Amino acid sequence: MATALKGNIAVGQSGGPTAVINSSLAGVIEEARKHSEITGVYGMWHGIQGFLKEELIDLYAQPAEIVQGLKRTPSAALGSCRYKLKDGDYERILNLFKQYNIRYFHYIGGNDSQDTSNRISKMAQEQGYELRVIGVPKTIDNDLSATDHCPGYGSVARYIAVSTQEMGKDTEAIGLVDNVKILEAMGRNAGWITAAAMLGKKDEDDPPHLIYVPERPITWDGFLGDVQRVYDRLGYCVIVVCEGLTDADTGEPITASASAVDVDSFGHKQMGGVADTLCKEIAARLKIKARYDKPGTIQRMSMALASTVDLEEACMIGAQAVREAVSGKTDFMVSFVRESNDPYRCGTGLVPLSDAALAEKKLPSDYINEAGNFPTERFAEYARPLIGGPLPEYVKLKRVWVPGGGRR
């Protein structure tokens, strides 16, 4: 047991908000109260950027119902930022830590946030200032390599799975008119979110029919051929694509490589969204009507579709970060370690901060089919426990045709 280190916690939220990052914040606050050496919890207003202006919220001053409410409130209650620290900033941060007697630092965020934590921790060590730094992972993209999954991912995965079921049912009904529907999912360079679109599919002909992820760049002929084949078979086609999809031939983002892409008045190609570009190309080259849905930030904020597993784990990992720090650990990020898949059980581990910010974790190759147009069952086994219970069971009418009619 380490010596009790008396002082305050500084906690901040960084990067894109999620449905559960406030649940992690609640976990930090609730756990801190259990330890007498934690004299206060200071919330960095808009992350490290607000901290540099000494904008700190007193989190012990929050009523219990607000702390409870954080567990069901999406977005980042402290405000977020995407601020890359400059050289002089580190010195100033450390001085402020001393000034406010901050002895514990928990930054809730992705790659960049863990890197920031690491640098602050190293500087404190160089200067002999005792500081315990335990990072808390957060990113819907699920691209941190050092953890089984990231808080925030399960919820956006559930959102995409359910929304694909629902917009797929829309196209099943009205596909005679709106033939091709594309849903554009977030995820930048990794297909974790996009792949979750498969989780509500039961039968071969159910939507979605095609799913494309950045790990497998597309060729135009391949993509258009896929779409034509589904359309010829069913009369409609439902596709889910990642915003970061690229062109296999050029290596460029899809938006920059299409033939039907817009050109602005200076002759420069206009970067539209991926789905928009794919729709234009389908219309131009296949003469098939195509429309898209782009839920954008709604997908990472939806509380109605948040995963209960994700909400609980996010709170738990925030609390765990405090426990680890109080017990004397520093220079780590808390990670998830899956202990069992069926039944699902997940514990936590510790990853050195210097490793936490390493390479982006992408979909492994056996999570994507050979044709590069659909995830595999192995991906589904990985993702299913994270989305928090079964998906909605929507009914279909039994095809009992009236005798004498056109269908027998």
Find the binder of a copy of itself among 57, 85, 234, 283 (CB under 8 A): 57
> Measured between alpha carbons, how far is 90 from 88 in angstroms, rounded to an integer?
6
Nearer to a copy of itself, 113 or 335 (CB): 113
Q: Is 132 a binder of a copy of itself (CB under 8 A)?
A: no
Q: Is 199 a binder of a copy of itself (CB under 8 A)?
A: no
Q: How many CA atoms lie within 13 A of 185 on its CB side?
A: 31
Q: What angle do CA 216, 218, 219 make, to 5 degrees?
A: 145
Nearer to a copy of itself, 74 or 372 (CB): 74
CB 237 within 8 A of CB 180: yes
Q: Is 170 a binder of a copy of itself (CB under 8 A)?
A: yes
Q: Is 17 a binder of a copy of itself (CB under 8 A)?
A: yes
Q: How far is the CB of 206 from a copy of itself (least distance, A)?
A: 13
Query: What residues from 372 to 401 belong to the interface with a copy of itself (CB under 8 A)?
Result: 392-401
Nearer to a copy of itself, 100 or 220 (CB): 100
Q: How far is the CB of 172 from a copy of itself (least distance, A)?
A: 7
Q: Is 264 a binder of a copy of itself (CB under 8 A)?
A: yes
Find the binder of a copy of itself among 3, 128, 232, 263 (CB under 8 A): 263
CB 42 within 8 A of CB 11: yes
Q: Are strands 7-13 and 102-109 parallel, antiparallel or unpaired?
A: parallel
> Measured between alpha carbons, how far is 101 from 294 in angstroms, rounded to an integer?
45
Listing DSSP states for 325-387 in one string gives HHTT--SEEEEEEEEEETTEEEEEEEEEHHHHTSSBP---GGGB-TTSSSB-HHHHHHHGGGG
What are the tokens at 354? 């210097």
Active site residue 141: yes
Which of the ranges 124-132, 146-154, 257-265, 345-353 carries the binding residues for a copy of itself, by CB under 8 A?
Answer: 257-265
> Measured between alpha carbons, how far is 8 from 68 in angstroms, rounded to an integer?
21
Find the binder of a copy of itself among 7, 12, 27, 74 (CB under 8 A): 74
Query: What residues from 81 to 120 belong to the interface with a copy of itself (CB under 8 A)?
Result: 81-82, 99-100
Query: What residues from 267 to 326 belong to the interface with a copy of itself (CB under 8 A)?
Result: 270, 272-273, 276, 291-298, 300-305
Q: Is 239 a binder of a copy of itself (CB under 8 A)?
A: no
Instruction: Give the list of residues 6+ apart from residue 370 with CB closer than 8 angstroms, or none.
Output: none
Q: Which of 115, 141, 143, 276 is catalytic?
A: 141
Which residues participate in catalysis according to the annotation?
Answer: 141
